[in-house]
A and B are shown apart, each in its own frame.
Chain A
Amino acid sequence: MKVTLKIWRQADAASKGAMHTYEVDEVSPDMSFLEMLDVLNERLNAQGEEPIAFDSDCREGICGMCGLMINGEAHGPEVTTTCQLHMRTFKDGDTITIEPWRSDAFPVVKDLCVDRGALDRIIQSGGYISVNTGAAPDAHAVPVPKDKADRAFDVATCIGCGACVAACPNGSASLFVGAKVTHLGELPQGQAERDRRVVNMIGQHDHEGFGGCTNIGECTAACPKEIPLDVISRLNWDLHAALRHGK
């Protein structure tokens, strides 16, 4: 099959970018979306045009490195990561627009690559349990009810890709923060720091320039790991509890 691509190109953070149009033939439905871009890049290289920069690493949907706005949707039309999107989702003759994540907190680095360092800094502000190496009790010392452990796991599957931010009209990272606060808050090990954690993480979130949550739900619709919207209710609940406790 054959597709027309409209792709955002931008030399670096300081330059202005623009959309460029490319045609790609001989696309097979079994190709992944990024393999289709690989094919385009091989051709550009042969023609003497610099290949398009885009991020990816694991290409199996788990590292969170990839992430493109495809036809205006974060990671494209399916509930998956960009690297796991396959060309069988598209039709022969389709025109596809490809842009980087759009958010004030994620400046463009080049073409389709953005800087998501803000998410790391949110984790630094409290997304952990403080336990030094070697100081841990036996793993069976504290049983964890299965439903709690399962719930913690489900929300801990967030891959930190930033699609929730890109999809949100307010550019909020509340789903990402809510997922971490819920993961650690479900577990007995996470209780001691629960109040501090939520206050500090939300503080850092706002400081980084992410917007506030107005419960639109675009984030959860775009999330490749289907992190549920109720982690944001949990986030708010924990924040109120912390404020009540005077934190």
Chain B
Amino acid sequence: MTAEKDTVLDMTDLTQSPEADSPEAHSPDDEPNDAAGYYADGTPLIDKKTPTGPIDERWENRKFNARLAAPANRRNLSVIIVGTGLAGASAAATLGEAGYVVKSFCYQDSPRRAHSIAAQGGINAAKNYKGDGDSVHRLFYDTVKGGDYRSRESNVDRLAEISRNIIDQCVAQGVPFAREYGGLLDNRSFGGVQVSRTFYARGQTGQQLLIGAYQALERQVAAGTVETFTRHEMLELVMVDGKARGIIARDMVTGEIETHLADVVVLASGGYGNVYFLSTNAMGCNVTATWRAHRKGAYMANPCYTQIHPTCIPVSGEHQSKLTLMSESLRNDGRIWVPKNREDCDKDPRDIPEDDRDYYLERIYPAFGNLVPRDIASRQAKNVCDEGRGVGPLVGDFRRGVYLDFTEAIERMGKEAVEEKYGNLFDMYAQITGEDPYEVPMRIYPAVHYVMGGLWVDYDLQSTIPGLFVTGEANFSDHGANRLGASALMQGLGDGYFVLPNTVRDYLADGPFEKIDEDHPDVVAARAAVEQRINKLLTINGDRSVDSFHRELGHIMWEYCGMERTAEGLRKGIDLIRSLREEFWRNVKVLGSAESLNQSLEKAGRVADFFELGELMCIDALHRRESCGGHFRAESQTEDGEALRDDEHYSYVAAWEFSDDGEPPVLHQEHLVYTAIEMKQRSYK
């Protein structure tokens, strides 16, 4: 391991000397370090914003201590919010209502199209409307446990607490959640928990929540507090005097490079699952906004924690551009199985007798059955397919699919009830595969779906760059090494409606801030860097399309940094990424001009950043020689093949600091301390 390196930024309020509080620090003496030479060790990182005291009083205390900005001053304080998904739209609306001057950005042609729109299954809240023993503490407990004890407990407790307000807010906005005949809200249960606490709007919960937030946002546009910039892509963060003071964005229609300055910048730019090329993300999902900030000093936390969702429609061909999720809620009533015998794998599933079916999740995990957390369900699907018991078309030497069977549910509930609950999902499946799931069991396979990793933030959701806040999937905050179903929507809206407005307010209370000019040298430099990069991409004029590079990168990531990771594979992955990246900058072919709508150019910029991210993900995965949540290292498993955590060495958040291009990244560890919950090996048996 290379020598300790000090942080480049002024991090005095975030770091402290290593000897103070790091008894469990990962030390090279007692553990083989697979990633030696790939990174440098930095000083530990401390979140100084979490209040102390009983866990259930911390958020109340933080809110009380957050300073106020007088209404009259707010018109002089400005906030840029990149992203209009649940996290961004809710924050923009709320800060607009409070009277701040807000600019909101998205790359789509309307804020309503952010990928939150695609969330299907639901949103959790500790309302205990079902009287089944739910509580704030139970939601907290389930989330920390589901995250395999790799999240910050104070954040999770806050999330559980505000979950209740989210539902109230959404209902008041007119979000048409599912209701019972008595007119009250209905709930369903989701993977990894034993209570019904998930609120839903058929299979389109994300859509309905986002439309609620979008309407609140548009209301503020009408009120003049928020200005929206659609078809605008953030390409650089502007920093002045060590603080985030704006962004450089490209108008994707005219190609104009624009400077936007403000007192605070919020990144709500979503997840980076598209680094795998095939994922359930939208085509435009990217890491550019957060990666640009990372390069300027914002630490990237736990980048290797990726969620691979068990219930997606399997890959059908080589031209596939994306994968489609089937909501996990299907696991409530559908039963997952594969044939016991390989010979049966290409038979019509309806002809395979009950005795010859292996309902493997029910068999291995009798307590949770088909409702085990996602990481477990995904890995077991991979295992049975690796054993040669997968179903569907042969992909290479294996069939990559398992059955999700509703025959019994249809018998038990009737076709109408199944249709009522899951109709749109069944229709979607039929549309994509051409098969009728009411007649033939569906085929599913895991796909990249969500990233728990993201920019490191403190309790206030502020990154290591002062004035840069990060919310929603773009931050790392609440889900540890694995996110439970229906918890991302909760986090996005919780961050945007309830957390950020309080913490940004505290930051802005220091204002008014010094006015910055567009011709400030730091602003000019940021802008020039963007222009140069665009020019570079357009003039390489090589032989290969951006998509071909992206596909290949995705393949490397899936192969070596996917569902199961090994030291050897990760090292190989890093080598492959480095040489592909080198070829990209020499041989990519981007046609068209900078001065008009140019979708190849947009993609090229995103893929360029994915290369750098992909490498860091592999390094992070390589250094973490334990299995936890979605991160499964083959070297660290129990005798029966379950993930084996190593709390002694790895119970920390890995926060990575960017060094110069070509220099190894620097690791800062934030140690996780649990006072309100006891760390246990997860068991769903």
Q: A: which residues have CB within 8 A of B?
A: 11-12, 28-32, 34-35, 38-39, 42, 45-46, 48-51, 53, 55-65, 80, 84, 86, 88, 109-110, 113, 115-117, 119-120, 123-125, 127-140, 142-146, 149-150, 152-153, 156-157, 159-160, 183-184, 187, 189-190
Pair B317/A34 contact, Cβ less than 8 Å: no
Among B207, B497, B548, residue most surrounded by chain A Cβ atoms (within 10 Å)? B207
Pair A139/B171 contact, Cβ less than 8 Å: yes
Pair A58/B171 contact, Cβ less than 8 Å: no
Q: Which B388-406 residues sit within 8 Å CB-CB of chain A?
A: none
Q: 14 additional contacts, CB 8 Å, given A45-B600, A56-B283, A125-B222?
A: A57-B282, A57-B283, A60-B118, A117-B109, A123-B215, A129-B215, A131-B216, A133-B90, A135-B172, A145-B179, A152-B176, A153-B178, A159-B207, A189-B174
Residues of B with C-beta under 8 A to A29: 434
Pair B183/A146 contact, Cβ less than 8 Å: yes
Interface residues as binary, B194-224 with A (CB distance below 8 Å gives 1, 0 otherwise): 0000000110100110010011101101100
Residues of B with C-beta under 8 A to A38: 319, 321, 547
Residues of A with C-beta under 8 A to B112: 63-64, 120, 160
Q: Is there a chain A Cβ closer than 8 Å to B108's Cβ? A: yes
Q: Is there a chain A Cβ closer than 8 Å to B324's Cβ? A: yes
State which of A12, A80, A137, A152 has its C-beta within 8 Å of the C-beta of B172: A137
In the complex, A139→B216 CA distance in Å? 18
In the complex, A120→B230 CA distance in Å? 11
Residues of B with C-beta under 8 A to A140: 129, 184-185
Size class of the B contact interface (CB-based, 8 Å): 35 or more
Pair A53/B172 contact, Cβ less than 8 Å: no
In the complex, A125→B182 CA distance in Å? 34
Pair A120/B176 contact, Cβ less than 8 Å: no
In the complex, A159→B228 CA distance in Å? 19
Q: B: which residues have CB within 8 A of A?
A: 90, 93-94, 97, 108-115, 117-118, 127, 129, 165, 167-174, 176-185, 201-202, 204, 207-208, 211, 214-216, 218-219, 221-222, 228, 230, 253, 282-284, 316-317, 319-322, 324-325, 428, 431-432, 434, 497-498, 501, 545, 547-548, 589, 591-592, 596-597, 599-600
Residues of A with C-beta under 8 A to B129: 140
Pair B168/A138 contact, Cβ less than 8 Å: yes
* Pairs across A and B, CB under 8 Å, 6 listed: A45-B591, A45-B600, A50-B591, A117-B109, A123-B214, A140-B184
Also in contact, A62 and B204, with CB within 8 A (given A31-B319, A136-B169) = yes
Pair B600/A133 contact, Cβ less than 8 Å: no
Pair A35/B321 contact, Cβ less than 8 Å: yes
Residues of B with C-beta under 8 A to A153: 176, 178, 201-202, 208
Q: How far is the CB of A60 from chain B (nearest CB, A)?
A: 5
Name the CB-closest residue of B to A46. Answer: B545
In the complex, A44→B285 CA distance in Å? 24
Pair A187/B168 contact, Cβ less than 8 Å: no
In the complex, A137→B110 CA distance in Å? 30
Pair A128/B219 contact, Cβ less than 8 Å: yes
Pair B172/A136 contact, Cβ less than 8 Å: yes
